[in-house]
Amino acid sequence: MPIPVTTRFAPSPTGRLHLGHAYSCVLAHDYARQRGGRFLLRIEDIDPGRARPEYVAGIIEDLRWLGLSWDGEVTFQSRRLPVYAEALERLKAMGLLYPCFCTRSEIAAEIAASAAAPHGPDGPLYPGTCRNLSPETRQRRCAAGPHAWRLDVTSALARTGPLYWEDGDTEVPAEPEAFGDVVLARKDAPTSYHLAVTIDDAAQGVTDVVRGRDLYAATDIHRLLQALLGLPTPHYRHHDLLTDGEGRRLAKRSGAPTLAGLRDAGADPGALVADLRAGRLPAGYCTA
């Protein structure tokens, strides 16, 4: 039996969905449905400070309104923390993680004081302050309070060798070192987006990750984690982001219309989905 094409929509419930989310969801949904495959809904609610139950309810309401249905139960990352913890322990046992005690302001001060602070896709790279602490210092400071865990990307890559992934038909060399030593478990959250998304795509049998181009570079880290944890690599299909008439990508902070707002204004969900399938914003929301 061939493996069924499986895609997913994986929103973080930190606000109401806007048209950009709907576009991504339609593309992932249609990719699976057109191939007789499965389309899954996963709620990425691992950030205790920002995820809210009312936004989860909003996501489900919005997708139903759009007429997009998913297969099986909704998955909640917040219910899978032991799975992520187990993977973290494996990476620790491989000697690839180190505890990091730096605060945001300490990192910022260190970067400001250094002559050449390298930058990656997410901003300045972590300067590596905690990478070389002695085992005694680590032990003492770990016992003293909460801390993050970072991946030693150089050691990890030395272990895996060069890695590649596919975006559509294009082979992409993975360059996770561009991000520096990423955080895999935060002080205040037991896992990170990178770790949870990588584990869940494998656990749910996702064959094709259809998501926005804003996550293209992060795929390099996901590929590295797959290699370290012995997980399969899905196909990636990053899509362009919808932009408004001025070329700005749709985002909550730039005032993109939420689906709830459109619904309240009497929008027709069938017409909206048809517009998104055609890669355009509904009339009235495109100023071009």
182 binds ligand GLU (CB under 6 A): no
**Binder among 102, 197, 199, 256 for ligand GLU (CB under 6 A):** 197
Based on the shown chain and the rule CB under 6 A, indicate whether residue 215 belongs to the binding site for ligand GLU.
Answer: yes
Contact between residue 97 and residue 91 where contact means Cβ atoms under 8 Å apart: yes
What string of DSSP letters covers 6-58? EEEE---SSS--BHHHHHHHHHHHHHHHTTT-EEEEEE----TTT--HHHHHH
Stretch that binds ligand GLU, among 9-17, 84-92, 94-102, 261-269 (CB under 6 A): 9-17
Active site residue 252: yes
Rg (CA), the chain: 20
* Chosen residue from 194, 211, 223, 238 binding ligand GLU by CB under 6 A: 211
Q: Determine if 63 is a binding residue for ligand GLU (CB under 6 A).
A: no
Check residue 20 for interaction with ligand GLU (CB under 6 A): no
Minimal distance, residue 193 CB to ligand GLU, in Å = 6
User: CB-side exposure of 205: number of CA atoms within 13 Å?
Assistant: 12
Question: Would you say the C-alpha torsion 20, 26, 32, 34 has a positive or negative sign?
Answer: negative
* C-alpha span between 119 and 122 (Å, rounded): 8
Q: Is 155 in the site for ligand GLU (CB under 6 A)?
A: no
Q: Within a 13 Å sphere around the CA of 241, how many CA atoms are in the beta-carbon half? A: 17
Nearer to ligand GLU, 32 or 197 (CB): 197
Torsion of CA 73, 207, 18, 260, to 10 degrees: -20
> Could you tell me how many residues of this chain bind ligand GLU (CB under 6 A)?
7
Question: For residues 77 and 209, what is the distance between their CA atoms, to the nearest angstrom?
Answer: 17
Instruction: Verify binding: residue 11, ligand GLU, rule CB under 6 A.
Output: yes
Interaction between residue 44 and ligand GLU (CB under 6 A): yes
Question: Which of 233, 231, 232, 205 lies closest to 219 in space, CA to CA?
Answer: 233
If one asks whether residue 220 binds ligand GLU (CB under 6 A), the answer comes out as: no
Among 5, 6, 10, 200, binds ligand GLU (CB under 6 A): 10
Q: Which of 187, 252, 263, 280 is catalytic?
A: 252
Catalytically annotated residues: 252
Question: Rule CB under 6 A: which residues touch ligand GLU?
Answer: 10-12, 44, 197, 211, 215
